[in-house]
Structure formats: structure tokens, C-alpha cells
Amino acid sequence: MDFLNNYIFYIGAFGLIFIGLYILLTRKNLIKLIIGLSIVDTGVNLLIICMGYLKNGTAPIFSRKGLNPETMVDPTPQALVLTSIVIGVAVLAMALSLAIRLYQHYGTLDMRKIKEQKW
């Protein structure tokens, strides 16, 4: 139980990162690769938020009086991850538009077949 309390978020974050990297290394379909990229993105975001967590902390919002600033979680990683999520969706949309164009040009999404065409 103690092990779970300490490491469960790390297990989740690294599990996501490794599964995403496995997709990126082994699959050949372009859209599958992009899905893997978004999974890696989610895992990295979870890891960065874990770094700023404080045991029994509260969210960094002074929504009412009497909240103790000492027990608030670190707000800096949250601000960075907020930026990262929005940039992630922009990059994903851009990558998908490139995949659509490649499909219209070559008629396939398989990376190896596209590579054989020597462009």
C-alpha cells in the first residue's frame, strides 16, 4: 500500500510514455504514429504535474479565506503543462493534415511504402 501511495502516479506516467514510445518504434501506419505521439504527450504532462505535487496539498487557488499557502501544490508545472497541452493539439492537427496530404498523394498510410517512392 505504501508503495502504491508513493509510486502509482509515476507508474502511470512512465507506462504511458513507454507504451507511446513502443507504438512510435514498431508501428508503420502514420495515424497510429500520431496517436502514439499524443499518448507520449499525455504521459509527459502527467509526469511534470507529479513533480509539483505536495502530499495533502490544495490547489493553488485562494478561493476562500483561511487557505494555508504552505500546503499548496507548486503552480509552476501546472502553468507549463497548460501551455504544453494547447501546443500539443496544434502540432497534432498539423501532423494529421500532413498525413492526409500524403494519403491523397500516394494512396497509402504505410510509412515503408511511402519511403520507397523516394521523394
Partner 1 sequence: MRKIFSLIILIILALGVYICISEIPFGKPGTAVGNYYIEKGIEETGAVNIVTSIVLNYRGFDTLGEVTILFLASLGLGAILATVQNKTRGVITPPSLILTTACRFLFPFILMFGAYIFLHGHLTPGGGFQGGAIIASGFLLRYLGCPQKRIRQSSFVAIESLGGIAFIIIGLLGFTAGGFFLFNFLPKGVANTLLSAGIIPLIYIAIGLKVGAEMAGIIDTLIEES
Partner 2 sequence: MIIIITSLVITMLAGAIAACALRDLLSAAIASCLVSLAAAILFYFLQAPDVAMAEASIGAALVTAILVIAIRRTERQE
Cα(12)–Cα(42) distance, integer angstroms? 10
| Exposed / middle / buried, residue 41 (Cβ in 10 Å: 0-12, 13-18, 19+) | buried
Backbone angles phi, psi at 72, to 5 degrees: -85, 150
Interface with partner 1 includes 116 (CB under 8 A)? no
- Cβ-proximal residues to 35 (8 Å cutoff; 6+ apart), any chain: 23
Q: Yes or no: say if 47 and 14 are a contact pair by the CB < 8 Å rule.
A: yes
Write the interaction track for partner 1 spanning residues 55-74; mark x where CB under 8 A is met and - where it is not: x-x-xxxxx-----x--xxx
Write down the least CB distance from residue 115 to partner 2, Å.
Answer: 17
Q: Residue 24 is placed in which grid cell?
A: 512510435
Residue 51's CB is within 10 A of a number of other CB atoms, namely 12
Residues of this chain that interact with partner 2 (CB under 8 A) are: 1, 4-5, 8-9, 11-12, 15-16, 19-20, 22-23, 27, 29, 31-32, 34-36, 38-39, 42, 45-46, 49-50, 53-54, 57-61, 73, 78, 81-82, 85-86, 88-89, 92-93, 96-97, 99-100, 103, 109
The residue ranges that bind partner 1 (CB under 8 A) are 6-7, 9-10, 14, 18, 21-22, 25-26, 50-55, 57, 59-63, 69, 72-76, 78-79, 82-83, 85-87, 89-91, 93-94, 96-98, 100-101, 104
